[in-house]
A and B are shown apart, each in its own frame.
Chain A
Protein backbone atom coordinates (compact mmCIF):
# COMPACT_ATOMS: atom_id res chain seq x y z
CA UNK A 1 0.00 0.00 0.00
CA UNK A 2 2.81 2.37 0.87
CA UNK A 3 4.45 1.85 -2.48
CA UNK A 4 1.35 2.73 -4.44
CA UNK A 5 0.61 5.74 -2.26
CA UNK A 6 4.13 7.08 -2.71
CA UNK A 7 3.81 6.59 -6.44
CA UNK A 8 0.58 8.51 -6.62
CA UNK A 9 2.02 11.26 -4.48
CA UNK A 10 5.10 11.46 -6.63
CA UNK A 11 3.27 11.75 -9.92
CA UNK A 12 0.56 14.10 -8.70
CA UNK A 13 1.09 17.69 -9.85
CA UNK A 14 2.45 19.94 -7.12
CA UNK A 15 -0.34 22.01 -5.56
CA UNK A 16 -0.14 25.63 -6.60
CA UNK A 17 -1.14 27.14 -3.30
CA UNK A 18 1.68 27.67 -0.79
CA UNK A 19 -0.49 26.36 2.05
CA UNK A 20 -0.94 23.06 0.28
CA UNK A 21 2.78 22.72 -0.22
CA UNK A 22 3.46 23.43 3.41
CA UNK A 23 0.91 20.87 4.50
CA UNK A 24 2.56 18.27 2.36
CA UNK A 25 5.98 19.10 3.72
CA UNK A 26 4.90 18.78 7.34
CA UNK A 27 3.23 15.49 6.63
CA UNK A 28 6.39 14.11 5.09
CA UNK A 29 8.62 15.14 7.95
CA UNK A 30 6.59 13.27 10.58
CA UNK A 31 6.44 9.46 10.50
CA UNK A 32 3.22 8.41 8.85
CA UNK A 33 0.72 6.34 10.69
CA UNK A 34 -1.53 4.03 8.70
CA UNK A 35 -2.78 1.85 11.55
CA UNK A 36 -6.43 0.90 11.44
CA UNK A 37 -8.25 0.43 14.71
CA UNK A 38 -7.86 -3.36 14.66
CA UNK A 39 -4.18 -3.11 13.75
CA UNK A 40 -3.60 -0.59 16.52
CA UNK A 41 -5.17 -3.00 19.00
CA UNK A 42 -2.93 -5.80 17.70
CA UNK A 43 0.11 -3.58 18.00
CA UNK A 44 -0.89 -2.60 21.52
CA UNK A 45 -1.29 -6.17 22.75
CA UNK A 46 1.91 -7.26 21.01
CA UNK A 47 3.84 -4.40 22.56
CA UNK A 48 2.57 -5.22 26.05
CA UNK A 49 3.75 -8.81 25.65
CA UNK A 50 7.04 -7.74 24.06
CA UNK A 51 7.64 -5.31 26.93
CA UNK A 52 6.82 -7.87 29.61
CA UNK A 53 8.98 -10.50 27.96
CA UNK A 54 11.94 -8.57 26.58
CA UNK A 55 12.07 -4.84 27.22
CA UNK A 56 11.29 -4.67 30.95
CA UNK A 57 13.56 -7.63 31.86
CA UNK A 58 16.44 -6.17 29.85
CA UNK A 59 15.79 -2.77 31.43
CA UNK A 60 15.93 -4.51 34.83
CA UNK A 61 19.47 -5.67 34.04
CA UNK A 62 20.56 -2.16 33.14
CA UNK A 63 18.80 -0.70 36.19
CA UNK A 64 20.28 -3.25 38.58
CA UNK A 65 23.73 -2.77 37.09
CA UNK A 66 23.35 0.99 37.25
CA UNK A 67 22.08 1.08 40.83
CA UNK A 68 25.56 0.24 42.10
CA UNK A 69 27.08 3.00 39.98
CA UNK A 70 30.60 2.83 38.59
CA UNK A 71 31.85 1.21 41.79
CA UNK A 72 29.84 -1.88 40.96
CA UNK A 73 31.52 -2.17 37.57
CA UNK A 74 34.95 -1.53 39.06
CA UNK A 75 34.50 -4.18 41.78
CA UNK A 76 33.10 -6.71 39.32
CA UNK A 77 35.71 -6.17 36.64
CA UNK A 78 38.68 -5.90 38.98
CA UNK A 79 38.02 -9.41 40.24
CA UNK A 80 40.94 -11.32 38.65
CA UNK A 81 38.80 -14.38 37.94
CA UNK A 82 36.20 -12.32 36.09
CA UNK A 83 38.91 -10.48 34.19
CA UNK A 84 40.49 -13.78 33.14
CA UNK A 85 37.08 -14.97 31.92
CA UNK A 86 36.57 -11.80 29.88
CA UNK A 87 40.04 -12.10 28.36
CA UNK A 88 39.51 -15.75 27.45
CA UNK A 89 36.07 -15.09 25.94
CA UNK A 90 37.19 -12.14 23.82
CA UNK A 91 40.38 -13.87 22.60
CA UNK A 92 38.52 -17.02 21.68
CA UNK A 93 35.69 -15.10 20.01
CA UNK A 94 38.15 -13.13 17.87
CA UNK A 95 40.06 -16.29 17.00
CA UNK A 96 36.92 -18.15 16.05
CA UNK A 97 35.60 -15.24 14.00
CA UNK A 98 38.85 -15.15 11.99
CA UNK A 99 38.69 -18.91 11.49
CA UNK A 100 35.07 -18.62 10.37
CA UNK A 101 35.87 -15.85 7.91
CA UNK A 102 38.23 -18.23 6.11
CA UNK A 103 36.37 -21.52 6.56
CA UNK A 104 32.89 -20.03 6.11
CA UNK A 105 33.86 -18.43 2.82
CA UNK A 106 35.54 -21.63 1.62
CA UNK A 107 32.50 -23.75 2.51
CA UNK A 108 30.10 -21.26 0.90
CA UNK A 109 32.30 -21.27 -2.21
CA UNK A 110 32.31 -25.06 -2.38
CA UNK A 111 28.53 -25.17 -1.88
CA UNK A 112 27.85 -22.69 -4.69
CA UNK A 113 30.59 -23.16 -7.28
CA UNK A 114 31.54 -26.81 -6.89
CA UNK A 115 29.54 -29.84 -7.98
CA UNK A 116 29.95 -33.28 -6.43
CA UNK A 117 27.71 -36.10 -5.20
CA UNK A 118 26.53 -35.55 -1.64
CA UNK A 119 26.60 -31.76 -1.80
CA UNK A 120 23.00 -31.58 -0.57
CA UNK A 121 24.05 -33.55 2.51
CA UNK A 122 26.85 -31.05 3.20
CA UNK A 123 24.31 -28.27 2.80
CA UNK A 124 22.03 -29.82 5.44
CA UNK A 125 24.91 -30.66 7.82
CA UNK A 126 25.92 -26.98 7.89
CA UNK A 127 22.64 -26.20 9.67
CA UNK A 128 23.05 -28.95 12.28
CA UNK A 129 24.83 -26.65 14.78
CA UNK A 130 21.88 -24.22 14.57
CA UNK A 131 19.33 -26.90 15.29
CA UNK A 132 21.20 -29.03 17.81
CA UNK A 133 20.52 -28.14 21.46
CA UNK A 134 23.68 -26.53 22.85
CA UNK A 135 24.09 -29.03 25.67
CA UNK A 136 23.90 -31.84 23.10
CA UNK A 137 26.50 -30.01 21.02
CA UNK A 138 28.84 -30.18 24.00
CA UNK A 139 28.22 -33.88 24.45
CA UNK A 140 28.66 -34.49 20.73
CA UNK A 141 32.07 -32.81 20.68
CA UNK A 142 33.06 -34.62 23.84
CA UNK A 143 32.59 -37.95 22.07
CA UNK A 144 35.33 -37.15 19.54
CA UNK A 145 37.58 -34.81 21.52
CA UNK A 146 36.95 -36.04 25.07
CA UNK A 147 38.47 -38.78 27.23
CA UNK A 148 37.08 -41.60 25.05
CA UNK A 149 38.24 -40.00 21.82
CA UNK A 150 38.87 -42.49 19.00
CA UNK A 151 41.48 -40.02 17.71
CA UNK A 152 43.29 -39.93 21.03
CA UNK A 153 42.68 -36.22 21.43
CA UNK A 154 42.02 -35.26 25.04
CA UNK A 155 40.94 -31.70 24.60
CA UNK A 156 38.22 -31.67 27.27
CA UNK A 157 38.77 -29.12 30.04
CA UNK A 158 41.41 -27.22 28.06
CA UNK A 159 41.34 -23.95 26.20
CA UNK A 160 41.08 -25.92 22.97
CA UNK A 161 37.71 -27.24 24.14
CA UNK A 162 36.44 -23.65 24.23
CA UNK A 163 37.72 -23.03 20.69
CA UNK A 164 36.11 -26.23 19.51
CA UNK A 165 32.72 -25.50 21.06
CA UNK A 166 32.65 -21.98 19.68
CA UNK A 167 33.73 -23.17 16.22
CA UNK A 168 30.89 -25.69 16.29
CA UNK A 169 28.08 -23.35 17.27
CA UNK A 170 29.18 -20.50 14.96
CA UNK A 171 29.85 -22.64 11.87
CA UNK A 172 26.67 -21.72 9.93
CA UNK A 173 26.79 -17.93 10.30
CA UNK A 174 29.24 -16.89 7.59
CA UNK A 175 28.34 -19.80 5.30
CA UNK A 176 24.69 -18.80 5.37
CA UNK A 177 25.30 -15.08 4.83
CA UNK A 178 27.87 -15.52 2.03
CA UNK A 179 26.12 -18.35 0.16
CA UNK A 180 23.14 -16.36 -1.22
CA UNK A 181 25.37 -13.46 -2.29
CA UNK A 182 27.70 -15.83 -4.11
CA UNK A 183 24.70 -17.41 -5.84
CA UNK A 184 23.51 -14.04 -7.10
CA UNK A 185 26.94 -13.03 -8.36
CA UNK A 186 26.97 -12.61 -12.15
CA UNK A 187 29.52 -14.69 -14.01
CA UNK A 188 29.74 -12.07 -16.80
CA UNK A 189 31.98 -9.68 -14.93
CA UNK A 190 34.40 -12.44 -14.05
CA UNK A 191 34.49 -13.61 -17.66
CA UNK A 192 35.03 -10.07 -18.87
CA UNK A 193 37.94 -9.69 -16.46
CA UNK A 194 39.38 -13.02 -17.58
CA UNK A 195 39.05 -12.08 -21.26
CA UNK A 196 40.89 -8.85 -20.51
CA UNK A 197 43.76 -10.91 -19.16
CA UNK A 198 43.17 -10.84 -15.41
CA UNK A 199 44.54 -13.84 -13.56
CA UNK A 200 42.33 -15.94 -11.31
CA UNK A 201 43.80 -14.54 -8.12
CA UNK A 202 43.24 -11.01 -9.42
CA UNK A 203 39.66 -11.83 -10.32
CA UNK A 204 39.05 -13.25 -6.86
CA UNK A 205 40.71 -10.32 -5.09
CA UNK A 206 39.34 -7.48 -7.23
CA UNK A 207 35.92 -8.75 -8.30
CA UNK A 208 34.57 -11.54 -6.14
CA UNK A 209 35.91 -10.56 -2.73
CA UNK A 210 34.62 -6.95 -2.76
CA UNK A 211 31.07 -8.11 -3.44
CA UNK A 212 31.29 -10.71 -0.67
CA UNK A 213 32.74 -8.37 1.94
CA UNK A 214 29.43 -7.01 3.34
CA UNK A 215 28.07 -10.54 3.69
CA UNK A 216 31.28 -11.75 5.33
CA UNK A 217 31.18 -8.77 7.69
CA UNK A 218 27.57 -9.48 8.63
CA UNK A 219 28.31 -13.15 9.27
CA UNK A 220 31.44 -12.30 11.23
CA UNK A 221 29.49 -9.90 13.45
CA UNK A 222 26.87 -12.57 14.15
CA UNK A 223 29.43 -15.24 14.91
CA UNK A 224 31.38 -12.89 17.20
CA UNK A 225 28.19 -12.04 19.10
CA UNK A 226 27.30 -15.72 19.42
CA UNK A 227 30.81 -16.67 20.53
CA UNK A 228 30.83 -13.99 23.23
CA UNK A 229 27.52 -15.20 24.63
CA UNK A 230 27.90 -18.98 24.34
CA UNK A 231 27.08 -21.06 27.38
CA UNK A 232 25.36 -24.41 26.83
CA UNK A 233 27.92 -26.16 24.65
CA UNK A 234 30.74 -25.28 27.07
CA UNK A 235 29.16 -26.73 30.21
CA UNK A 236 30.21 -30.33 29.70
CA UNK A 237 33.15 -29.73 27.40
CA UNK A 238 35.29 -27.07 29.00
CA UNK A 239 34.87 -28.02 32.66
CA UNK A 240 34.53 -24.30 33.58
CA UNK A 241 37.91 -24.21 35.32
CA UNK A 242 38.51 -20.79 36.89
CA UNK A 243 41.29 -18.78 35.19
CA UNK A 244 41.62 -21.42 32.46
CA UNK A 245 38.43 -22.37 30.67
CA UNK A 246 35.80 -20.23 32.35
CA UNK A 247 33.93 -17.86 30.02
CA UNK A 248 31.90 -14.76 30.79
CA UNK A 249 28.49 -16.50 30.67
CA UNK A 250 29.66 -18.97 33.30
CA UNK A 251 30.86 -16.09 35.48
CA UNK A 252 27.41 -14.48 35.23
CA UNK A 253 25.83 -17.76 36.25
CA UNK A 254 28.20 -18.10 39.22
CA UNK A 255 27.25 -14.58 40.34
CA UNK A 256 23.55 -15.50 40.10
CA UNK A 257 24.05 -18.72 42.04
CA UNK A 258 25.92 -16.85 44.77
CA UNK A 259 23.07 -14.35 45.04
CA UNK A 260 25.24 -11.51 43.76
CA UNK A 261 22.61 -10.05 41.44
CA UNK A 262 24.33 -6.68 41.11
CA UNK A 263 27.58 -8.28 39.96
CA UNK A 264 25.73 -10.55 37.55
CA UNK A 265 23.80 -7.59 36.17
CA UNK A 266 26.97 -5.52 35.74
CA UNK A 267 28.65 -8.22 33.69
CA UNK A 268 25.42 -9.02 31.83
CA UNK A 269 24.92 -5.35 30.92
CA UNK A 270 28.34 -5.34 29.24
CA UNK A 271 27.39 -8.44 27.25
CA UNK A 272 24.10 -6.78 26.36
CA UNK A 273 25.93 -3.66 25.14
CA UNK A 274 28.13 -5.81 22.89
CA UNK A 275 25.03 -7.57 21.51
CA UNK A 276 23.27 -4.26 20.82
CA UNK A 277 26.39 -2.86 19.20
CA UNK A 278 26.53 -5.84 16.85
CA UNK A 279 22.85 -5.48 15.92
CA UNK A 280 23.17 -1.77 15.20
CA UNK A 281 26.34 -2.32 13.14
CA UNK A 282 24.62 -5.06 11.15
CA UNK A 283 21.60 -2.86 10.54
CA UNK A 284 23.85 -0.07 9.26
CA UNK A 285 25.89 -2.41 7.03
CA UNK A 286 22.73 -3.89 5.53
CA UNK A 287 21.18 -0.49 4.95
CA UNK A 288 24.30 0.68 3.17
CA UNK A 289 24.40 -2.40 0.97
CA UNK A 290 20.69 -2.05 0.18
CA UNK A 291 21.19 1.59 -0.80
CA UNK A 292 24.05 0.73 -3.11
CA UNK A 293 21.66 -1.73 -4.73
Chain B
Protein backbone atom coordinates (compact mmCIF):
# COMPACT_ATOMS: atom_id res chain seq x y z
CA UNK B 1 0.00 0.00 0.00
CA UNK B 2 1.43 3.37 -0.98
CA UNK B 3 1.75 5.87 1.84
CA UNK B 4 0.55 9.41 1.27
CA UNK B 5 2.74 12.29 2.38
CA UNK B 6 2.54 13.46 5.97
CA UNK B 7 0.94 16.80 5.18
CA UNK B 8 -1.78 15.29 3.00
CA UNK B 9 -2.49 12.70 5.67
CA UNK B 10 -2.91 15.36 8.35
CA UNK B 11 -4.99 17.56 6.08
CA UNK B 12 -7.39 14.71 5.29
CA UNK B 13 -7.54 13.64 8.92
CA UNK B 14 -8.35 17.15 10.15
CA UNK B 15 -10.88 17.69 7.37
CA UNK B 16 -12.73 14.48 8.22
CA UNK B 17 -12.62 15.03 11.96
CA UNK B 18 -13.58 18.70 11.70
CA UNK B 19 -16.54 17.99 9.45
CA UNK B 20 -17.89 15.20 11.64
CA UNK B 21 -17.28 17.21 14.80
CA UNK B 22 -19.12 20.30 13.56
CA UNK B 23 -21.94 18.39 11.92
CA UNK B 24 -22.59 15.58 14.42
CA UNK B 25 -20.49 15.40 17.57
CA UNK B 26 -20.74 18.97 18.84
CA UNK B 27 -24.49 19.43 18.18
CA UNK B 28 -25.29 16.10 19.85
CA UNK B 29 -23.11 17.08 22.80
CA UNK B 30 -24.96 20.39 23.10
CA UNK B 31 -28.33 18.64 23.37
CA UNK B 32 -26.98 16.52 26.21
CA UNK B 33 -25.65 19.69 27.83
CA UNK B 34 -28.99 21.52 27.42
CA UNK B 35 -30.80 18.56 28.96
CA UNK B 36 -28.65 18.59 32.07
CA UNK B 37 -27.94 22.32 32.49
CA UNK B 38 -30.38 22.50 35.43
CA UNK B 39 -29.29 19.19 36.84
CA UNK B 40 -31.91 16.50 36.56
CA UNK B 41 -34.93 18.87 36.72
CA UNK B 42 -35.55 18.78 32.95
CA UNK B 43 -35.69 15.01 32.90
CA UNK B 44 -37.70 14.81 36.12
CA UNK B 45 -40.21 17.40 34.85
CA UNK B 46 -40.54 15.56 31.57
CA UNK B 47 -41.17 12.25 33.29
CA UNK B 48 -43.81 13.89 35.48
CA UNK B 49 -45.68 15.27 32.44
CA UNK B 50 -48.56 12.86 31.66
CA UNK B 51 -48.44 13.79 27.93
CA UNK B 52 -44.80 12.77 27.69
CA UNK B 53 -45.26 9.62 29.75
CA UNK B 54 -48.24 8.56 27.60
CA UNK B 55 -46.24 9.30 24.47
CA UNK B 56 -43.30 7.23 25.67
CA UNK B 57 -45.58 4.31 26.53
CA UNK B 58 -47.26 4.53 23.15
CA UNK B 59 -43.90 4.72 21.37
CA UNK B 60 -42.66 1.59 23.13
CA UNK B 61 -45.88 -0.27 22.34
CA UNK B 62 -45.86 0.73 18.65
CA UNK B 63 -42.15 -0.05 18.28
CA UNK B 64 -42.57 -3.43 19.99
CA UNK B 65 -45.30 -4.59 17.61
CA UNK B 66 -43.60 -3.16 14.55
CA UNK B 67 -40.32 -4.90 15.43
CA UNK B 68 -42.09 -8.18 16.22
CA UNK B 69 -43.97 -8.16 12.91
CA UNK B 70 -40.88 -7.16 10.94
CA UNK B 71 -38.87 -9.88 12.65
CA UNK B 72 -41.22 -12.70 11.64
CA UNK B 73 -41.80 -11.28 8.17
CA UNK B 74 -38.11 -10.44 7.66
CA UNK B 75 -36.77 -13.87 8.58
CA UNK B 76 -39.42 -15.62 6.46
CA UNK B 77 -38.75 -13.45 3.40
CA UNK B 78 -34.96 -13.76 3.82
CA UNK B 79 -35.11 -17.56 3.85
CA UNK B 80 -37.47 -17.60 0.88
CA UNK B 81 -35.24 -15.21 -1.09
CA UNK B 82 -32.03 -17.12 -0.42
CA UNK B 83 -33.09 -20.76 -0.25
CA UNK B 84 -35.84 -21.04 -2.84
CA UNK B 85 -36.40 -20.24 -6.49
CA UNK B 86 -39.74 -18.89 -7.58
CA UNK B 87 -41.07 -16.68 -10.34
CA UNK B 88 -40.90 -12.98 -9.48
CA UNK B 89 -38.11 -13.40 -6.97
CA UNK B 90 -35.95 -10.64 -8.46
CA UNK B 91 -38.82 -8.18 -8.49
CA UNK B 92 -39.68 -9.01 -4.89
CA UNK B 93 -36.09 -8.55 -3.77
CA UNK B 94 -35.96 -5.12 -5.45
CA UNK B 95 -39.35 -4.11 -4.01
CA UNK B 96 -38.23 -4.98 -0.48
CA UNK B 97 -35.81 -2.04 -0.61
CA UNK B 98 -38.48 0.48 -1.68
CA UNK B 99 -39.31 1.62 1.89
CA UNK B 100 -35.71 2.74 2.38
CA UNK B 101 -35.87 5.42 -0.27
CA UNK B 102 -39.51 6.48 -0.03
CA UNK B 103 -40.21 9.68 1.89
CA UNK B 104 -41.96 9.11 5.24
CA UNK B 105 -44.57 11.64 4.12
CA UNK B 106 -45.30 9.51 1.05
CA UNK B 107 -45.59 6.43 3.29
CA UNK B 108 -48.11 8.25 5.47
CA UNK B 109 -50.10 9.42 2.47
CA UNK B 110 -50.12 5.93 0.94
CA UNK B 111 -51.55 4.34 4.09
CA UNK B 112 -54.00 7.21 4.47
CA UNK B 113 -55.38 6.71 0.95
CA UNK B 114 -56.09 3.02 1.56
CA UNK B 115 -57.11 2.85 5.22
CA UNK B 116 -58.81 6.15 6.10
CA UNK B 117 -62.38 5.66 7.25
CA UNK B 118 -63.95 8.32 5.03
CA UNK B 119 -62.99 7.53 1.44
CA UNK B 120 -60.13 5.05 1.68
CA UNK B 121 -60.07 1.85 -0.37
CA UNK B 122 -60.47 -0.50 2.63
CA UNK B 123 -60.99 2.01 5.45
CA UNK B 124 -64.80 2.33 5.46
CA UNK B 125 -65.29 -1.48 5.36
CA UNK B 126 -62.81 -1.99 8.18
CA UNK B 127 -64.40 0.72 10.28
CA UNK B 128 -67.86 -0.68 9.71
CA UNK B 129 -66.52 -3.88 11.27
CA UNK B 130 -65.07 -2.00 14.21
CA UNK B 131 -61.43 -1.77 13.16
CA UNK B 132 -60.07 1.75 13.09
CA UNK B 133 -56.67 1.89 11.42
CA UNK B 134 -55.94 5.54 10.67
CA UNK B 135 -55.77 7.92 13.67
CA UNK B 136 -55.26 4.89 15.90
CA UNK B 137 -52.50 2.49 16.88
CA UNK B 138 -52.92 -0.07 14.04
CA UNK B 139 -52.13 2.64 11.50
CA UNK B 140 -49.16 3.82 13.52
CA UNK B 141 -47.83 0.26 13.78
CA UNK B 142 -48.26 -0.18 10.03
CA UNK B 143 -46.45 3.07 9.24
CA UNK B 144 -43.60 2.06 11.53
CA UNK B 145 -43.47 -1.44 9.99
CA UNK B 146 -43.30 0.10 6.53
CA UNK B 147 -40.30 2.33 7.20
CA UNK B 148 -38.34 -0.34 9.10
CA UNK B 149 -39.31 -3.21 6.79
CA UNK B 150 -36.00 -3.93 5.00
CA UNK B 151 -33.69 -3.67 8.02
CA UNK B 152 -33.95 -7.28 9.25
CA UNK B 153 -33.88 -8.65 5.71
CA UNK B 154 -30.76 -6.69 4.77
CA UNK B 155 -28.91 -8.12 7.75
CA UNK B 156 -30.09 -11.73 7.42
CA UNK B 157 -29.86 -12.27 3.63
CA UNK B 158 -26.05 -11.85 3.31
CA UNK B 159 -25.43 -14.21 6.24
CA UNK B 160 -27.77 -16.86 4.82
CA UNK B 161 -25.99 -16.58 1.47
CA UNK B 162 -22.60 -16.91 3.08
CA UNK B 163 -23.27 -19.95 5.26
CA UNK B 164 -24.73 -21.94 2.36
CA UNK B 165 -27.08 -24.82 2.97
CA UNK B 166 -24.74 -27.79 3.38
CA UNK B 167 -25.61 -28.22 7.03
CA UNK B 168 -29.32 -27.87 6.36
CA UNK B 169 -29.12 -30.52 3.67
CA UNK B 170 -27.15 -32.79 5.96
CA UNK B 171 -29.79 -32.37 8.65
CA UNK B 172 -32.57 -33.10 6.17
CA UNK B 173 -30.82 -36.19 4.85
CA UNK B 174 -30.45 -37.44 8.41
CA UNK B 175 -34.19 -37.22 8.82
CA UNK B 176 -34.77 -33.83 10.44
CA UNK B 177 -38.07 -32.17 9.64
CA UNK B 178 -38.35 -28.63 8.26
CA UNK B 179 -39.15 -27.24 11.71
CA UNK B 180 -36.29 -29.06 13.38
CA UNK B 181 -33.83 -28.00 10.67
CA UNK B 182 -34.89 -24.38 11.06
CA UNK B 183 -34.73 -24.34 14.85
CA UNK B 184 -31.49 -26.27 15.29
CA UNK B 185 -29.44 -25.43 12.19
CA UNK B 186 -30.63 -22.28 10.41
CA UNK B 187 -31.66 -20.16 13.38
CA UNK B 188 -28.45 -20.58 15.42
CA UNK B 189 -26.30 -19.60 12.44
CA UNK B 190 -28.28 -16.44 11.62
CA UNK B 191 -28.78 -15.55 15.29
CA UNK B 192 -26.48 -12.52 15.35
CA UNK B 193 -27.71 -11.14 12.05
CA UNK B 194 -31.25 -11.34 13.44
CA UNK B 195 -30.12 -9.54 16.61
CA UNK B 196 -28.53 -6.68 14.61
CA UNK B 197 -31.62 -6.47 12.46
CA UNK B 198 -33.83 -6.23 15.54
CA UNK B 199 -31.63 -3.60 17.20
CA UNK B 200 -31.55 -1.47 14.05
CA UNK B 201 -35.32 -1.86 13.56
CA UNK B 202 -35.91 -0.86 17.17
CA UNK B 203 -33.87 2.32 16.76
CA UNK B 204 -35.69 3.15 13.52
CA UNK B 205 -39.12 2.33 14.96
CA UNK B 206 -38.69 4.44 18.10
CA UNK B 207 -37.65 7.41 16.00
CA UNK B 208 -40.17 7.40 13.16
CA UNK B 209 -41.74 10.81 12.76
CA UNK B 210 -43.17 11.82 9.37
CA UNK B 211 -45.20 8.74 8.52
CA UNK B 212 -46.55 8.41 12.05
CA UNK B 213 -47.45 12.10 12.16
CA UNK B 214 -49.74 11.70 9.16
CA UNK B 215 -51.48 8.44 10.11
CA UNK B 216 -51.80 9.21 13.83
CA UNK B 217 -53.54 12.55 13.51
CA UNK B 218 -51.19 13.76 16.27
CA UNK B 219 -53.77 13.89 19.10
CA UNK B 220 -52.04 15.00 22.32
CA UNK B 221 -52.09 12.31 24.98
CA UNK B 222 -53.79 9.75 22.74
CA UNK B 223 -51.92 9.15 19.48
CA UNK B 224 -48.87 11.29 20.07
CA UNK B 225 -45.58 9.38 20.06
CA UNK B 226 -42.33 10.60 21.63
CA UNK B 227 -41.05 12.18 18.40
CA UNK B 228 -44.34 14.05 17.94
CA UNK B 229 -44.11 15.28 21.54
CA UNK B 230 -40.66 16.71 20.81
CA UNK B 231 -42.09 18.74 17.94
CA UNK B 232 -45.15 19.84 19.94
CA UNK B 233 -43.21 20.83 23.05
CA UNK B 234 -40.57 22.72 21.09
CA UNK B 235 -43.16 24.67 19.18
CA UNK B 236 -44.94 25.49 22.46
CA UNK B 237 -41.68 26.97 23.74
CA UNK B 238 -41.30 24.19 26.32
CA UNK B 239 -37.67 23.72 25.33
CA UNK B 240 -36.73 21.88 28.52
CA UNK B 241 -39.29 19.14 27.90
CA UNK B 242 -38.33 18.93 24.22
CA UNK B 243 -34.65 18.55 25.04
CA UNK B 244 -35.34 15.96 27.74
CA UNK B 245 -37.51 13.83 25.44
CA UNK B 246 -34.96 14.21 22.65
CA UNK B 247 -32.24 13.14 25.01
CA UNK B 248 -34.16 9.98 25.92
CA UNK B 249 -34.73 9.14 22.25
CA UNK B 250 -31.14 9.94 21.28
CA UNK B 251 -29.83 7.95 24.23
CA UNK B 252 -31.76 4.82 23.26
CA UNK B 253 -30.87 5.07 19.57
CA UNK B 254 -27.17 5.70 20.23
CA UNK B 255 -27.17 2.86 22.76
CA UNK B 256 -28.60 0.59 20.03
CA UNK B 257 -25.82 1.71 17.73
CA UNK B 258 -23.06 1.07 20.23
CA UNK B 259 -24.51 -2.37 20.98
CA UNK B 260 -24.39 -3.25 17.29
CA UNK B 261 -20.88 -1.80 16.90
CA UNK B 262 -19.58 -3.97 19.73
CA UNK B 263 -21.52 -7.13 18.89
CA UNK B 264 -20.66 -7.17 15.21
CA UNK B 265 -17.61 -9.38 14.82
CA UNK B 266 -14.58 -7.54 13.48
CA UNK B 267 -13.69 -8.58 9.97
CA UNK B 268 -10.61 -10.77 9.89
CA UNK B 269 -8.26 -9.85 7.13
- Could you tell me which A residues sit within 8 Å of B by CB distance? 1-3, 31-36, 38-39, 42-43, 45-47, 49-50, 53-58, 60-61, 64, 103, 106-107, 109-111, 113-114, 116, 122-136, 139-141, 143-145, 150, 164, 167-168, 171, 183, 187, 190-191, 193-194, 200, 203, 222, 225-226, 228-232, 235-236, 248-250, 252-253, 256, 261, 264-265, 268, 271-272, 275-276, 278-280, 283
- Bound-complex Cα distance A46 to B83 (A): 15
B209–A268 CB distance below 8 A: no
Instruction: Chain A residues near B107: list those with CB within 8 A.
Output: 57
Is B106 among interface residues, defined by CB-CB distance under 8 A? yes
Q: Are A190 and B113 in contact (CB under 8 A)?
A: no
Tell yes or no: B167 within 8 A of A by CB. Answer: no
The winner among A46, A58, A125 for most chain B CB atoms within 10 A is A58
- Are B142 and A53 interface neighbours, CB within 8 A? yes
A36 touches B178 (CB 8 A): yes
Q: B269's closest neighbor in chain A, by CB?
A: A183
A128-B28 in contact (CB<8A): yes
Complex CA distance for A134 and B209, rounded to whole angstroms: 7
Q: A1-B165, A58-B110 are in contact. Are A133 and B206 (CB under 8 A)?
A: yes
A131 touches B256 (CB 8 A): yes
| B residues 13-40 in Cβ contact with A at 8 Å | 13, 15-17, 19-20, 22-28, 30-31, 34
Which residue of the partner chain, among A124, A200, A261, contacts B261 with CB atoms under 8 Å?
Answer: A124
Most buried by A among B102, B178, B226: B102
Interface-located stretch among B44-52, B92-100, B187-195: B92-100
Complex CA gap A256/B88 in Å reads 34
Flag if B27 contacts A141 (CB, 8 Å): yes
B174 part of interface (Cβ distance < 8 Å): no
Which residues of chain B have a CB within 8 Å of any CB of chain A? 1-2, 4-5, 8-9, 12-13, 15-17, 19-20, 22-28, 30-31, 34, 69, 73, 76-77, 79-80, 83-89, 92, 94-95, 97-99, 101-115, 121, 142, 145-146, 149, 164-165, 169, 178, 200, 203-204, 206-210, 213-214, 226-228, 230-231, 234-235, 242-243, 246, 249-250, 253-254, 256-258, 261, 267, 269
Q: Does the CB pair B169–A133 fall under 8 Å?
A: no
Name the 9 nearest CB pairs between A and B, nearest first.
A133-B207, A229-B103, A187-B1, A57-B110, A143-B30, A60-B113, A232-B209, A225-B101, A131-B253
Contact B178 A272 (CB under 8 A): no
- Contacts known (A191-B1, A200-B4); A140 close to B257, Cβ less than 8 A: no
Given the complex, which residues of B lie within 8 Å of A113, measured CB to CB?
1, 4
Question: Which residue of B30, B88, B89 contacts A140 across the interface (Cβ within 8 Å)?
Answer: B30
B214 / chain A contacts, CB cutoff of 8 Å: 253, 256
Chain B residues whose C-beta falls within 8 Å of the C-beta of A231 in the assembled complex:
103-105, 209-210
Please report the C-alpha to C-alpha distance between residue A275 and residue B147 in the assembled complex, in whole angstroms: 14
Q: Are B109 and A200 in contact (CB under 8 A)?
A: no
Q: Given the known A-B contacts A31-B86, A252-B106, A275-B102, are A135 and B17 also in contact in the complex, defined by CB atoms under 8 Å? A: no
B1 engages A190 (CB within 8 Å): yes
Neighbouring A residues of B109 by C-beta, 8 Å: 61, 252, 256, 261, 264-265, 268
CB-nearest residue of chain B relative to A129?
B24
CA A2 – CA B23 in complex, angstroms? 47
Whether the Cβ atoms of A139 and B19 lie closer than 8 Å is no
Collect the chain B residues with CB atoms within 8 Å of residue A136's CB.
31, 207, 227, 230, 246, 249-250, 253
* B19: contacting residue among A107, A128, A134, CB under 8 A: A107
The listed residue (B73, B108, B164) touching A49 by CB distance below 8 A is B73
Point out the residues of chain B lying under 8 angstroms from A50, CB to CB: 73, 77, 95
Q: Is the CB of A122 within 8 A of B250?
A: no
In the complex with contacts A131-B256, A136-B250, A249-B9 CB distance below 8 A: no
Q: State whether A124 and B230 are in contact (beta carbons under 8 Å apart), knowing that A131-B203, A168-B23 are contacts in the complex.
A: no
Once the chains are docked, how many angstroms separate the CA of A194 from the CA of B85? 47
Question: Are B95 and A106 neighbours in the complex by a CB distance under 8 Å?
Answer: no
> Could you say which residues of chain B place their CB within 8 Å of the CB of A225?
101
Contact B24 A128 (CB under 8 A): yes
Residue of B nearest to A192 (CB): B2
Known: A139-B243, A143-B31. 12 other contacts (CB 8 A): A60-B110, A110-B12, A128-B257, A135-B227, A135-B231, A135-B246, A144-B22, A229-B105, A249-B210, A253-B213, A256-B105, A256-B108
Is B12 a contact partner of A106 (Cβ separation < 8 A)? Answer: yes
Evaluate contact between A124 and B103: CB separation under 8 angstroms: no
Option from B83, B113, B204 in Cβ contact (under 8 Å) with A57: B113
